[in-house]
Amino acid sequence: MSLLTSLTSGVSGLDNFQEQMDVIGNNIANVDTTGFKAGSVQFADAFSQTLRVATGATSTTSGSSSVQVGTGVTTTAINSNWGQGAITTTGVNSDAAISGNGFFVVRDSVSNDQFVTRAGDFKVDANGFLVTDTGERVQGLSDAGLTTQGDIKIDTTGEPATSDPTAGIVSYSIDGMGKINVNLSDGTSFVRGQILLQNFQDPSALVKVGANLFSGMASAGPLATPATPGSGSLGSIQSGALESSNVDLAGEMANLITAQRAFEANSKIITTSDEMLQTLVNLKR
């Protein structure tokens, strides 16, 4: 029975350290991905086989402890590290980095599904909407009066009455509170809209869906509504910059070595158990 248990433990070790290798490989692959959050594997011991039940002490006996043999290891969670990544300046007006807590909210204009992201590598599409690289529209206060939530758009809608009707956009900028300031060719300027941020009670409940996007906001416990950057526990926005991946490459390489050696050790358990079983079978000869 013990030999079979050791085989089971060795196999569980191979399976779970392979999962850790997959996570480490994904972290290393995304070392340069904007806004990426590194993952880590959490292990726990598997069900233990009880060979003897503990007995309590009496007036004449001292009692005995239980005897249990574990059956291996299991993965309880793969958690994301939500620590701040380094912020690097790009000089691109549409880029935005969050310094502190919070997520950008974006919407798929086709399915109407909403997602959140830490990646602020935005651009302005042909229709003037501020969008992600995959076309999701950034959400916030979409009118010059900052009263209506919706898709952020950068155009001359809501320009001051004193502006030249033929004036075009010369430049725009995003301030620390997410307000989009538009400068017109006639020298006037106005606030076109404001990017809002969302935060969660339990970000670990968010689900990665690719393209730097997360779904599952309801399970993560969102704030009542997206709020102004810099308010409450939310971080501020740094314009013309991006948040880098928070992967610690040196740490991942150390984890890689540990996982490799643990995998080899568990494979040795299987090999040794097989040799012992072979010896037992050969006793018949």
Q: Number of folded domains in the chain?
A: 2
> Which pLDDT score is estimated for 48?
83
> Which pLDDT score is estimated for 223?
86
Question: Do 29 and 97 sit in the same domain of this protein?
Answer: no
Task: Single out the residue of 160, 233, 151 nearest to residue 193, CA to CA.
Answer: 151
Q: At which residue do the structure tokens 């106005």 appear?
A: 190
> Which pLDDT score is estimated for 285?
63
Question: Do 8 and 130 sit in the same domain of this protein?
Answer: no
Question: Do 129 and 178 sit in the same domain of this protein?
Answer: yes
> Which pLDDT score is estimated for 58?
80
Both tokens of residue 52?
């003897």
Q: At which residue do the structure tokens 């959490």 appear?
A: 42
Question: Do 95 and 232 sit in the same domain of this protein?
Answer: yes
Chunk the chain into consecutive blocks of 10 residues (it has 285) and report each block's average pLDDT, rounded to whole numbers: 77 95 98 97 89 81 83 93 96 96 97 97 97 97 96 96 93 96 96 97 95 96 92 95 98 97 95 88 77
Structural domain range at position 208: 87-243
Is the CB of residue 97 less than 8 Å from the CB of residue 237?
yes
In the chain, helix, strand, coil percent, each to 5? Answer: 25, 35, 40
Q: Give the end-to-end CA distance of the chain in Å, rounded to a whole number.
A: 22
> Which pLDDT score is estimated for 280?
83
Question: Do 37 and 129 sit in the same domain of this protein?
Answer: no
Question: Do 76 and 201 sit in the same domain of this protein?
Answer: no
3 state DSSP class of 274: helix
Question: Do 154 and 32 sit in the same domain of this protein?
Answer: no
